[in-house]
Amino acid sequence: MRATVMYGAGDVRVENVADARVVEATDAVVTVTRAAICGSDLWPYKSMEPSETGRRMGHEFIGVVDAVGDDVRTLAPGDVVVTPFVWSDGTCVFCRVGLHTSCLHGGRYGVDGVDGGQGEAVRVPQADGTLVVLPVGRDDGLMPALLTLSDVMATGHHAALSADVGPGKTVAVVGDGAVGLCGVIAAQRLGAEQIIILGRHADRVELAREFGATDAVSERGEEAVERVRELTDGLGAHSVLECVGLGEATATAMRLARPGGALGRVGVPQEEAIPEGISTFFDNVTIAGGPAPARAYIEELLPDVLDGRIEPGRVFDRVGELDEVPDGYRAMNDREAIKVLIEL
Ligand SMILES: [Zn+2]
């Protein structure tokens, strides 16, 4: 079968690899029908050291169950399924409280003999705990929106929950990538009264407004902090969604929260230290967030996607075939594309 392998910064190839097959009795093999390139895939794309063996890529996909191991109970060949971006058993002490990203028997795609999602098929470990059956056909028009449940929509929702978004609240969203845009959707869905998007790409800000953003701030750093203060009666936002992960964006996000506010971090941090640790201490700002337990959110968000109440599929602004994955990385890295959908 063919799959995406990264050999170093800027070096992404689609090539022949060993076919996905059932190894453990709890595995399923899924024939991938839709996959996506993630903003987090761009971190190794920028920085990975050259590798002889390469690294399999992709953790967002939808597909059709092709085969299941003997212990799989809830899935059958032919089921259309979506995966959260990590696999998990669904039964351990952390899964039972909805923190599937810390599953005691879970793991990531693309490592330790598990396939990546940007390929023709994937062996999914702990299939019963991981995969969610979708009540639609394999080529349903909602596929782009359903695919965002794998990661970006779940991650935007996690940012909003971590930042304690709720009715009547003022929300600031740092980052106009796919996660930031999904964070706007999530904030609107949870009843926020004012949603300020921080971003400087006109097309992305326009989409954010269509998703429910009430204000846009294109400034950065200190100027951005001042603009948000002006928009919030000088107080700052109740809830801040940090959807970038770089030091400057995180520092800005920290300074946008009002005293007693909360910050939800979902951008993968690129530095060890959290900036503004002293000012946020004295302002009693709650700092929360981390990788989204997407598996816990898929069932909650799925009805809204199926009803069209939310339209996160609109974050995909480019569609390509598997052979176009390398150019998709380039386009996202050059910020030509917000997010690339791969159809197989
Ligand atoms: Zn678990």
pLDDT digits 0-9 by tens, 250-264: 999 999 999 999 999
- At residue 272, the pLDDT reads 86
In whole angstroms, how far apart are CA 30 and each of 33, 90, 130, 263?
Answer: 9, 19, 12, 37
pLDDT at 270 over 90: no
pLDDT at 135 over 90: yes
| d(CA 71, ligand 1 centre) in Å | 16
| d(CA 88, ligand 1 centre) in Å | 5
The C-alpha atoms of residue 181 and residue 174 are separated, in whole angstroms, by 10
- Coil, strand or helix at 5: strand
Given the structure tokens 């399924």, which residue do they identify? 81
Neighbours of ion ligand 1 (CB under 5 A): 88-89, 92, 95, 103
When mean pLDDT is compared across 29-43, 158-172, 268-282, 315-329, the lowest value belongs to 268-282
* Residue pair 196/228 in contact by the 8 Å Cβ criterion: yes
Band of pLDDT at residue 274, cut at 50, 70 and 90: confident
| d(CA 83, ligand 1 centre) in Å | 15
| d(CA 113, ligand 1 centre) in Å | 19
20 Cβ contact partners less than 8 Å away, ≥ 6 residues apart: 1, 29, 30, 115, 119, 120, 121, 122, 123
According to DSSP, residue 309 is labeled: S
| d(CA 104, ligand 1 centre) in Å | 5
pLDDT at 158 over 90: yes
Band of pLDDT at residue 273, cut at 50, 70 and 90: confident
